[in-house]
């Protein structure tokens, strides 16, 4: 456009540098005013990648809405919801941990946790222009994904290991049928669940595994009150149901110590074959049937614990604390002990590691089998009380690893977890007795008297009254 005649033209007065400046202004005026993703100033490469790692999909929320929403759902909402469920059901945490479906869900969530962040950081990198910004974002992404993937991989491996423990230790389904049922129609045991707890002792010089510890744990299902009944290892003349293989072999009762029943069945395949029930130990079933028939008590399940594993379980729980009334001599040495025993422990409050607890439970120095039985029940009572503590949740993964090689049971994972959760919710040992003199003569037991004693014990538990012989 021409200038008015009265207005001078200063173009000719401009220097070459002035012309360049004017050209830059013209270029800026003609360019778009919409900033690129890189130039928006909202977030640099590091901020975008970190945002993608913490909240996948957030950096691209307004650019890729559908993708971002999916990443947020799978990588943020679902993991948080899972944590909330676990917190809400923390009193049932054992049930969750021993639930294969829950473990599979955790593995799936862990995979999604990593994949959503990987997709999000890749999308951030692709949005970058070539050059330093993309290279920096790529480096940060690789480091960040590795940091996220490491704990996720550990979680997946741990959940897979727990699934293996469930398969190795527990039966697939407990069912409703008891392991061994009493047959006289007595109502004293109604409303009770009774578990036969066996402590197995095997090693050099031993004739197979011997059940030196045999304890009936009877639980009143309505109140949660528990009674423990120790069966002496030296009880003779154990009876068996008529028509069974053991009854046919020993019609007048088993002629050896009760702790020899398990190894006898183990070493006689023809007898063991008659007690086969799925993947359960036929030796344990035979022993349970003898105790059930002799004492007229229904035994619902059994738990067999290797004594070396008992040591490891105590260590995994962080030890156990007992109050001893007097000084107790300790054994010189017990196979499996990790440290040398002190000459004595007690009196007073004593916190025991696994080795000390094993010595306490098995020592007969200055004592007898009957004294040892009492100490075993005392130790189990202390452990039951300790299970109620919240720290059991932190120690549970270690416990499951030990259980894999040290525990066998007829319980399903669900039944076992229900028992543990019941203990944690306040179930307690009400009574504890041993079938020993002066109550009973293990060398020549009167099983009718034993039956009456157990009936009276269960009635006292049911009615919440003190049992005079405990």
Examine the domain organization and report whether 279 and 352 are in the same domain.
yes
Examine the domain organization and report whether 75 and 201 are in the same domain.
no
Distance, in Å, from the CA atom of 333 to the CA atom of 343, rounded to the nearest integer, reads 11
- CATH number of the domain to which 383 belongs: 3.40.630.190
Tell me the three state secondary structure of residue 144: helix
- Name 328's bridge partners: 345
Chain centre to alpha carbon of residue 361 = 24
Q: Is the bond preceding residue 87 a cis peptide, omega within 30 degrees?
A: no
pLDDT of residue 99: 80
- Which residue, 136, 169, 202, sits at the end of a domain? 169
Quote the domain boundaries for residue 339: 192-463
* Domain-embedded: residue 34: no
Q: Is the bond preceding residue 438 a cis peptide, omega within 30 degrees?
A: yes
| E strand segments, 202-251 | 210-220, 226-230
Examine the domain organization and report whether 267 and 303 are in the same domain.
yes
* Domain-embedded: residue 33: no
Measure Cα distances from 265 to 236, 268, 284, 336 in Å.
16, 5, 9, 26
* Domain-embedded: residue 177: no
* Domain-embedded: residue 21: no
pLDDT of residue 31: 42
Q: What is the pLDDT of residues 147-203, one digit of tens each?
A: 888 888 888 888 888 888 888 888 876 666 788 887 654 555 678 999 999 988 765
Examine the domain organization and report whether 288 and 424 are in the same domain.
yes
Examine the domain organization and report whether 326 and 456 are in the same domain.
yes
Structurally, the chain folds into a number of domains equal to: 2
CA angle 26, 32, 35 (to 5 degrees): 125
* Domain-embedded: residue 204: yes
pLDDT of residue 6: 52
* Domain-embedded: residue 8: no
Tell me the three state secondary structure of residue 190: coil
Examine the domain organization and report whether 213 and 86 are in the same domain.
no
For residue 348 the two structure tokens come to 């007073």
Distance, in Å, from the CA atom of 326 to the CA atom of 346, rounded to the nearest integer, reads 6
Q: What is the pLDDT of residues 315-368, one digit of tens each?
A: 888 888 888 888 888 877 666 677 778 888 888 898 888 888 888 887 776 667
Q: How would you classify the pairing of strands 328-329 and 320-324? A: unpaired
Distance, in Å, from the CA atom of 383 to the CA atom of 469, rounded to the nearest integer, reads 23
Tell me the three state secondary structure of residue 214: strand
pTM for this one? 0.75
Contact residues for 294 (Cβ-Cβ < 8 A; gap 6+): 238, 239, 240, 445, 447, 450
Contact residues for 457 (Cβ-Cβ < 8 A; gap 6+): 218, 227, 229, 431, 433, 467, 469, 470
Q: Count CA within 13 A, CB hemisphere, residue 337.
A: 20
Examine the domain organization and report whether 390 and 257 are in the same domain.
yes
Examine the domain organization and report whether 408 and 363 are in the same domain.
yes
Residues of 260-298 as b/e, b for ≥16 C-beta within 10 angstroms?
bbbbbbbeeeebbeebeeeebbbbbbbbbbbbbbbbbbb
Examine the domain organization and report whether 113 and 230 are in the same domain.
no
For residue 199 the two structure tokens come to 């402590």
- Which residue, 119, 137, 169, sits at the end of a domain? 169
Cβ pair 194, 298 in contact under 8 A: yes
> What phi and psi, each to the nearest 5 degrees, are found at residue 402?
-70, -40
Examine the domain organization and report whether 290 and 356 are in the same domain.
yes
Distance, in Å, from the CA atom of 441 to the CA atom of 435, rounded to the nearest integer, reads 8
pLDDT of residue 186: 54
* Domain-embedded: residue 182: no
* Domain-embedded: residue 442: yes
Q: State the residue for tokens 């000719």.
A: 12
Examine the domain organization and report whether 165 and 287 are in the same domain.
no
DSSP codes joined into one string, 76-114: IIHHHHHHHHHHHTGGGHHHHHT-HHHHHHHHHHHHHHH
Ranges of residues in the chain whose predicted pLDDT is under 50: 1, 3, 7-14, 19, 21-22, 25-26, 28-42, 185, 204-205, 390
140: number of Cβ within 10 Å: 21
Examine the domain organization and report whether 330 and 232 are in the same domain.
yes
- Which residue, 169, 202, 217, sits at the end of a domain? 169
């Amino acid at each position: 456009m021409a200038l008015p005649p009265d207005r001078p033209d200063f173009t000719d007065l401009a220097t070459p540098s002035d012309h360049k400046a004017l050209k830059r202004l013209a270029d800026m005026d003609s360019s778009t005013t919409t900033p690129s993703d890189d130039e928006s100033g909202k977030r640099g490469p590091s901020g975008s990648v970190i945002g993608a790692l913490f909240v996948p999909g957030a950096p691209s929320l307004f650019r890729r809405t559908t993708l971002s929403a999916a990443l947020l759902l799978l990588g943020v909402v679902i993991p948080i919801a899972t944590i909330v469920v676990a917190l809400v059901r923390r009193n049932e945490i054992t049930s969750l941990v021993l639930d294969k479906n829950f473990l599979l869900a955790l593995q799936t969530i862990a995979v999604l946790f990593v994949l959503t962040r990987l997709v999000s950081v890749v999308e951030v990198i692709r949005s970058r222009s070539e050059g330093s910004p993309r290279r920096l974002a790529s480096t940060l992404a690789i480091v960040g994904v590795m940091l996220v993937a490491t704990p996720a991989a550990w979680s997946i491996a741990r959940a897979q290991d727990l699934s293996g423990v469930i398969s190795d230790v527990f039966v697939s389904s407990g069912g409703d049928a008891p392991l061994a049922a009493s047959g006289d129609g007595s109502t004293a045991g109604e409303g009770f669940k009774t578990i036969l707890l066996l402590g197995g002792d095997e090693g050099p010089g031993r004739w197979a595994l011997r059940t030196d510890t045999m304890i009936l744990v009877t639980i009143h299902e309505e109140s949660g009150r528990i009674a423990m009944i120790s069966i002496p290892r030296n009880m003779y003349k154990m009876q068996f149901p008529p028509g069974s293989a053991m009854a046919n072999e020993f019609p007048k009762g088993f002629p050896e110590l009760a702790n020899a029943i398990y190894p006898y069945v183990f070493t006689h395949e023809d007898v063991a074959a008659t007690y086969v029930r799925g993947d359960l130990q036929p030796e344990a079933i035979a022993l349970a049937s003898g105790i059930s028939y002799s004492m007229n008590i229904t035994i619902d399940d059994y738990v067999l614990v290797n004594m070396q594993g008992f040591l490891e379980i105590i260590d995994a729980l962080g030890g156990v604390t007992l109050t001893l009334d007097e000084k107790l001599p300790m054994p010189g040495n017990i196979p499996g002990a990790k440290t040398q025993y002190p000459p004595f422990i007690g009196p007073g409050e004593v916190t025991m590691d696994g080795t000390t607890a094993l010595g306490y439970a098995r020592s007969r120095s200055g004592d007898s089998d009957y004294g040892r039985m009492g100490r075993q029940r005392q130790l189990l009572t202390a452990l039951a009380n300790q299970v109620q503590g919240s720290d059991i949740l932190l120690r549970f993964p270690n416990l499951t690893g030990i259980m894999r090689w040290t525990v066998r049971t007829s319980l399903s994972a669900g039944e076992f977890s229900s028992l543990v959760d019941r203990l944690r919710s306040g179930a307690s040992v009400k009574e504890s007795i041993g079938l020993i003199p002066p109550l009973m003569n293990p060398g020549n037991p009167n099983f009718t008297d034993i039956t009456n004693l157990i009936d009276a014990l269960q009635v006292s538990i049911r009615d919440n009254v003190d049992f005079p012989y405990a």
